Amino acid sequence: MTLAITNARIVGPDGETRGTLLVEGERIVAIGAVEVPDGVETVDARGRWLAPAIVDLGVFAIDREACRRGGIVRVALMPDQSPVLDDPGMVQRAALVGRPDLWIHPLVAATRALAGHDLAEIAFCQQAGARAVATGRGWIADTAVMERVLSYARDLDLAVVTHAEDGALVAGAVATAGETATRLGLPAAPAVAEALAVARDLMLAEATGARLHIRQVSTAAALDLVRAAKRRGVAVTCGITPAHLHLSDIAMSDFRTFAHLSPPLRSEADRQACRAAIADGTIDVIASGHDPQGPEAKRLPFADSAPGMAGAETLLPLALMLVRDGLCDMATLFRLLATHPAQVLGLDAGTLTVGAPADLILFDPEAPWRIEGDRFASAGNTPFDGLPVQGKVLRVWKGGRELRG
pLDDT in tens, the chain (405 residues): 689 999 999 998 889 999 999 999 999 999 999 999 888 999 999 999 999 999 999 999 999 999 999 999 999 999 999 999 999 999 999 999 888 889 999 999 999 999 999 999 999 999 999 999 999 999 999 999 999 999 999 999 999 999 999 999 999 999 999 999 999 999 999 999 999 999 999 999 999 999 999 999 999 999 999 999 999 999 999 999 999 999 999 999 999 999 999 999 999 999 999 999 999 999 999 999 999 999 999 999 999 999 999 999 999 999 999 999 999 999 999 999 999 999 999 999 999 999 999 999 999 999 999 999 999 998 889 999 999 999 999 999 999 999 997
> Alpha carbon of 135 to those of 141, 144, 147, 353, 403: distances in Å?
11, 14, 13, 33, 32
CATH of the domain at 238: 3.20.20.140
Q: What is the dihedral of CA 275, 281, 283, 284, to 10 degrees?
A: 140
pLDDT, residue 95, reads 95
Residues 98 and 62 sit within 8 Å (Cβ to Cβ): yes
Q: What is the dihedral of CA 201, 207, 208, 209, to 10 degrees?
A: 100
Nearest to 345 by CA among 186, 237, 209, 220: 237
Residues 50 and 360 sit within 8 Å (Cβ to Cβ): yes
Asked whether residue 87 is domain-assigned, the answer is yes
Strand partners, 31: 21
Total domains, the chain: 1
Asked whether residue 48 is domain-assigned, the answer is no
Within 128-258, residue ranges assigned H as helices are 143-156, 167-170, 179-184, 192-208, 220-232, 242-246
Residue type, 275: R
Nearest to 43 by CA among 29, 22, 28: 22
Nearest to 85 by CA among 61, 52, 57, 110: 110
Residues 379 and 292 sit within 8 Å (Cβ to Cβ): yes
Strand partners, 285: 239
Record the pTM: 0.96
> Alpha carbon of 100 to those of 76, 182, 394: distances in Å?
15, 49, 19
Asked whether residue 399 is domain-assigned, the answer is no
Residue type, 284: D
Strands 175-176 and 2-12: unpaired
Domain limits for position 239:
53-351+367-389
The number of residues making up the chain comes to 405
Alpha-carbon gap, residue 210 to 153, rounded angstroms: 7
Asked whether residue 37 is domain-assigned, the answer is no
Asked whether residue 32 is domain-assigned, the answer is no
Asked whether residue 44 is domain-assigned, the answer is no
The three-state secondary structure class of 274 is helix
Nearest to 265 by CA among 288, 246, 284, 280: 246
Rg for the chain, CA atoms, rounded: 21
pLDDT, residue 1, reads 66
- CA atoms 293, 299, 302, 303: torsion sign: negative
Within 280-335, residue ranges assigned H as helices are 295-298, 315-324, 330-334
DSSP 338: I
Nearest to 164 by CA among 109, 113, 219: 219
The three-state secondary structure class of 147 is helix
The three-state secondary structure class of 357 is strand
Asked whether residue 59 is domain-assigned, the answer is yes
Asked whether residue 72 is domain-assigned, the answer is yes
